[in-house]
Amino acid sequence: MTTHLVWFRADLRVKDNLALAAACRDRHARVLALFISTPRQWEKHDMAARQAAFMQSHLHSLQHELAEKGIPLLFVEVDDFNASVGAVKEICEEHDVTHLFYNYQYEINERQRDAAVERALPEVTCQGLDDSVMLAPGSVMTGDRQMYKVFTPYKNAFLRRLREDLPECVAAPAVREGGALSDTLKPLTLTYPQQDFDPSLFPATEQAAVERLRAFCRNEVGEYEARRDFPALDATSRLSPCLALGVISPRQCLHRLLAEQPDALDGGAGAVWLNELIWRDFYRHLMTWYPDLCKHRPFIPWTERVQWQSQPEHLQAWQAGRTGYPIVDAAMRQMNNTGWMHNRLRMITASFLVKDLLIDWRIGERYFISQLIDGDLAANNGGWQWAASTGTDAAPYFRIFNPTTQGEKFDKHGEFIRQWLPELAKVPAASLHDPWGWADKQGVSLDYPRPVVDHKQARAATLAAYETARKS
């Protein structure tokens, strides 16, 4: 009898899982599943404690879902990716595995690990699949077979591909011949530090994620374009943690969107949310084409020469939400307290760190990953390099957000700010974005820091630093 092993990584689901479906295609094969915990590797990659707790919850859910299909989930813990190579080899030898199936991860350490596993298993047929994207890397290219460096032409080519042929969603596998497994399953416990997450905000099972996706595409996505930039509104899908760990697939998102909003491919309702899914593929495709993006290097070489400031007190103020700029501080406290931050606020806070405080974007990128329940290297790196004007199709370096006017524009009446900055409760809404301007006129003291920098002066210093780097 042939034995198929499915190696789960960032794809913790049974529906539309390409590796699982491929392993189960032969209904006579014995199918086993494997998850390898690598706490020291996760520590090196700064994985957030809330993301570890989210992973723990979904591993438990996956174990039970697989058991219902008659597939046992083996669990192994080793230090890092190097040690996981030997772990996979041992499992394959112990269980006489003939075929190994896994879904690709596109980060460089993960790709090197997978290559090492294939070299270590010359007698095992290994099959990797492009599961975490809608379209495989290398399938959306320029006419001369280069990777697009600008998003809009990439998006247009991507949409043409989708109109020609939608990627398939595969069903969850049927129950194996031996039937469902016993309910007495051994608990799977990650030793990585964990921090509680709010399951009312983030779906804690695969089925809850699917239900959230359906509800969003049916009831909310039509208003997404008009409402998505206002953090006081509950107007986003909040599915990014599920996408980061593969609890749902981007193809499921695409098909559910088109089932509810059939004109989304042609600019109709849902097109803007689809745009965000395409950005996600774009950053993954870029990472396979330019692996240096995994090595903390900027896409635009001259930006490596920017002379960053080293001011620990400014960094600490930013991390703690104590910069004196209310929209920045409220955003940082939202992330510190929930493990998630609204996308508009990610842009505002990243711009502030880099272009008001002139602190290296890589420090901010690392802090975000250490806090975010939806931590994802490709998307996080892409977003930070966009804000820092160091990446592909990034904001020009001379485009610098004014944190005060950003707050006035996207949280005009301060509902979001008041939620996270209770110390500003007595400040009138009209003055909330410049609380000290009001307090000084009123002769009032606030338990809130004054701005750590003057935006106008900081902007001039940042422009000078970038211009010097560009010309040197």
Q: Convert 209-238 to b/e letters by CB count within 10 Å (16 or more is b).
A: bbebbeebbeebbbebeeebbbbbeebbbb
User: Can you say which residues are annotated as belonging to the binding site?
Assistant: 224, 236-240, 273, 276-283, 374-376
- Measured in degrees and rounded to the nearest 5, phi and psi for residue 194 equal -130, 150
The distance from CA 325 to its chain's CA centroid, rounded to whole angstroms, is 26
Which of 82, 275, 336, 343 is labelled catalytic? Answer: 343
Over residues 318-335, the pLDDT tens digits come to: 999 999 999 999 999 999
Which of 68, 77, 276, 408 is labelled catalytic? Answer: 276
Q: Scanning the structure block, which residue is given the tokens 């042939």?
A: 2
Contact 130, 104 (CB under 8 A): yes
| Catalytic status, residue 361 | yes
pLDDT of residue 1: 83
Over residues 424-469, the pLDDT tens digits come to: 999 999 999 999 999 999 999 999 999 999 999 999 999 999 999 9
Report the chain's mean pLDDT, rounded to a whole number: 97
pLDDT of residue 283: 97
| Catalytic status, residue 384 | yes
Where does residue 144 rank: exposed (0-12), middle (13-18), buried (19+ CB within 10 A)?
exposed
* pLDDT level of residue 123 (50, 70, 90 thresholds): very high
Asked whether the predicted pLDDT for residue 111 surpasses 80, the reply is yes
Q: Convert 92-109 to b/e letters by CB count within 10 Å (16 or more is b).
A: beeeebbbbbbbbbbbbb
Which of 7, 42, 279, 438 is labelled catalytic? Answer: 279
* pLDDT level of residue 395 (50, 70, 90 thresholds): confident
Residues 31, 172: Cα–Cα separation, whole Å: 14
Residue 195: HSE in the Cβ half-sphere, 13 Å Cα cutoff: 13
Residues 332, 319: Cα–Cα separation, whole Å: 7
Enter the pTM of the model.
Answer: 0.96
- Residue 5's SS3 state is strand
pLDDT of residue 178: 86
Mean pLDDT of 21-29: 96
Domains (ranges, CATH) in the chain? 3-131 (3.40.50.620), 133-168+205-289 (1.25.40.80), 301-471 (1.10.579.10)
| CB count in 10 Å sphere of residue 357 | 23
| Catalytic status, residue 7 | no
| Catalytic status, residue 438 | no
Which of 384, 386, 420, 438 is labelled catalytic? Answer: 384
DSSP H helices, 290-339, are: 312-320, 326-338
pLDDT of residue 53: 98
User: Can you say which residues are annotated as belonging to the binding site for FAD?
Assistant: 224, 236-240, 273, 276-283, 374-376
Which of 361, 386, 420, 438 is labelled catalytic? Answer: 361
Residues 383, 376: Cα–Cα separation, whole Å: 11
Over residues 45-90, the pLDDT tens digits come to: 999 999 999 999 999 999 999 999 999 999 999 999 999 999 999 9
